[in-house]
Amino acid sequence: MTLSTFTHNVLEMDPILFLSYVFWAGVGVLLSLLLNANQRAINNNNMQMAFCWKFLFTSNYKRILISFLLILVSIRFSKQLIGLEQNAFSSFVIGLCSDHLGKVLQLKILVMRDKQLKPNQNE
């Protein structure tokens, strides 16, 4: 098994295409971070008065890491999760809504598990 065969089997898409989707999701995460940074409490003593990229990334590193991992899973399983083919726009939206991805994935898993546990009542 070659590396390209392995990556294609794991990702179920071209690796370059997958990376482009991760890029657009990253743009969405960055926009989400910037929108939240704009709403920060300036009167808080722990907050810096002037905007600082270093402070933004160091104070949100856990959020960024969790978002990155959830984005990888969401893009890989997008067809199963949302029922649509993945594209650049849906990747951007996944990144923009990355704060809520954990809840959405948890609910989707619960729904899928319930469907498997309950027999079809129409039969």
Q: Long-range CB contacts (< 8 A, 24+ apart) of 84-89?
A: 86/13, 86/21, 87/21, 88/20, 88/21, 88/24, 89/24
Inside any domain, residue 86: yes
Residue 27 confidence (pLDDT): 94
Range of the domain at 96: 3-117
Backbone angles phi, psi at 22, to 5 degrees: -65, -40
How many distinct structural domains can be found in the chain?
1
Inside any domain, residue 122: no
Instruction: Quote the radius of gyration of the chain (alpha carbons, Å).
Output: 18
Inside any domain, residue 94: yes
Residue 42 confidence (pLDDT): 60
Q: In whole angstroms, what is the distance from residue 91 CA to residue 28 CA?
A: 8
Residue 114 confidence (pLDDT): 81
Across the range 117-122, mean pLDDT stands at: 63
Residue length, the chain? 123
Q: Hey, what are 64's tokens?
A: 């960024």
Lowest mean pLDDT among 10-24, 31-45, 67-81, 95-109: 31-45
Its pTM stands at 0.72
Inside any domain, residue 100: yes
Residue 19 confidence (pLDDT): 92
pLDDT band, residue 20 (cuts 50/70/90): very high
pLDDT digits (tens, 9 = 90+) for 27-36: 999 998 888 8
